[in-house]
Amino acid sequence: MHQTTSKNRDGAQLFINNWAPSLFFLISILVHLRLSDYAFDDAYIHFRISQNFVSHGYPYYNLGDATMVTSSPIWTMLLSTIFFIFGNNLCSVAILNGVILVLAALTWGNLISEKVSFLKTIIIAALLSVSSFGLMETPLALLFLGIGTFLDKRNDSRAFIFLTLAFFTRFELGIFLILFLIKHWQGRRFSKAAIYTFVTSLPIITFCFHYFATLTPNTISAKSIVYNLTSKEFIQVLFTNLNGENLSKNLHWIAPSLVIVTICCLILFFISNKNLNVKIKKDSNSNLLLFGAAFILVLFFIKKVLIFPWYIPCFSVPLAFALMDYAKIYKAKSLYILLLAFVIFPIFTFSRDVISAFSESSTYSNFSQGKRVQLYREIGKEIYQSNPKAKVLAPEIGGLGFEFKGEIIDALGLASPNSLTFHPLKVPQERESGLIGAVPIKLVENVQPDYIVSLEIFVKELLKSEVISNYDITYRELDSAKLWKSSSVVIFKKIGTEPN
């Protein structure tokens, strides 16, 4: 009986090691392909920049404007390579992210145990899934960070190649590069680490300065000017994106419950483990990852950053890894409970999203936002076909700009720095809250665009102003439930605008 049980266990482990990863890759690619029509609006900003790079030789959002709109030089280079080889086919990006998600999950899962851990792999995949299905760059950044951590654990200085790549894929991850460099500051490996960091950075820095004359994306300063969150709004947005928008909207008890569970588990852990340094070395990578994740979260809070779903893995994945590692080292039930509380809702969202890819797409967590982007794409294509030289202004420039190939004036200033002179808008006189990136009335008066395209919530005050007397207004209903208090996309067409 004992031998039979042992054989069954060995057979299950053999399946996990040999066949599960292949099955995981296949399912991931299929899910990404099925959900690719619902990519985030910001993903299309990257697509447009990369397409311009391939077609015209300049990685700019608007050709002729050298503003650094991309927040991820590595992602821009990779997408440009993909589009150059396979053409402007977004299926190739979906396949790419499908592969990256699995590689990242397996890398982080393998960091904790020598054998592939199915549960740990699923946890990491769940935390990365929303950004990955939305075709953003975050999973690639976390893959680089995971490989860097993996190599550093094995005393391989090539870790700093990947830690540097992680930084240039998501700039928040630069804190981990700094922490790992500090770790080796007085060690024999520091010179090699510094060389690898410098050599990897040099071509990327050269690329940025050649095309943009800066290393700082305009999006960083633009978002800090446009959005003004209160502490309460920051916490609401944080928990909404951590646990999924639909869950947080319907289950208001999630956020306070997580806070209570976290406090109780930490108190239990510290009471039962008084000598923390006995088991964990001071240079433990888990310590670095935990500190880095905490640093990012605290920095976001201090700056009151409007956290988008693809920001979350930058701190949630390192934090989950540290919790799993500490729980294993200390055999602490309190940390396992804390880990469960931290990942249970992302796993639920991940499971539902995977099922939605093969059944009812309306249950997909990004369905409503994705339908809005699809409508933006339709409108952008229609305007470009009738007025390719039109002057178009919009607060959301991803899907719209992907189809409208001409110049787009970004009402929020991410791609049009001149718009920032009209921000920030006052609350509540000019917008409902600091969370809303509304279209400034004075910007419209100054620019006099041929078209304005926006969700209702971003033009509420504009619709009350006198400037709209110069425009014909039409409403295009969203093919989903209300999104951000909006049921339609509003199209303003300047009176007298003729096809050209």
Residue at which a domain ends, from 332, 361, 390? 361
Q: Clarify whether residues 385 and 339 are in a common domain.
A: no
Q: Is residue 95 one of the residues assigned to a domain? A: yes
Q: What is the pLDDT of residues 225-271, one digit of tens each?
A: 999 999 989 988 988 888 776 655 655 666 667 777 777 877 777 67
Question: With a threshold of 0.75, does the pTM exceed it?
Answer: yes
Q: Which residue's structure tokens are 């899907």?
A: 399
Q: Clarify whether residues 377 and 327 are in a common domain.
A: no
How many C-beta atoms lie closer than 10 Å to residue 297's C-beta? 17
Q: What is the pLDDT of residues 201-220, one digit of tens each?
A: 999 999 999 999 999 999 99
Q: Give the whole-number percent of the chain exceeding pLDDT 90.
A: 71
Q: Clarify whether residues 231 and 300 are in a common domain.
A: yes
User: What pLDDT is stored for residue 399 in this prediction?
Assistant: 97
Calpha distance 460→380 (Å, rounded): 21
pLDDT at 181 over 90: yes
Give the number of domains in the chain.
Answer: 2
User: What pLDDT is stored for residue 326 in this prediction?
Assistant: 85
Mean pLDDT of 171-194: 93
Q: Clarify whether residues 143 and 171 are in a common domain.
A: yes
Q: What is the pLDDT of residues 297-352, one digit of tens each?
A: 999 999 999 999 999 999 999 999 998 888 888 887 888 888 888 898 899 999 99
Q: What is the pLDDT of residues 46-87, one digit of tens each?
A: 999 999 999 999 999 999 999 999 999 999 999 999 999 999
Q: Is residue 132 one of the residues assigned to a domain? A: yes
Q: Name the average pLDDT for the chain.
A: 89
C-alpha distances out from residue 362 to 37, 95, 393, Å: 12, 22, 30
Instruction: Give the alpha-carbon dihedral of 74, 80, 82, 83, to 10 degrees.
Output: 160
User: What pLDDT is stored for residue 9 in this prediction?
Assistant: 55
Q: What is the pLDDT of residues 269-282, one digit of tens each?
A: 767 766 555 555 55
Q: Clarify whether residues 126 and 186 are in a common domain.
A: yes
pLDDT band at 481 (very low <50, low <70, confident <90, very high): low
pLDDT band at 148 (very low <50, low <70, confident <90, very high): very high
Q: Is residue 4 one of the residues assigned to a domain? A: no
pLDDT band at 4 (very low <50, low <70, confident <90, very high): low
Q: Clarify whether residues 373 and 247 are in a common domain.
A: no
Residue at which a domain ends, from 327, 361, 395? 361
User: What pLDDT is stored for residue 224 in this prediction?
Assistant: 93
Q: What is the pLDDT of residues 87-128, one digit of tens each?
A: 988 999 999 999 999 999 999 988 766 566 788 899 999 999
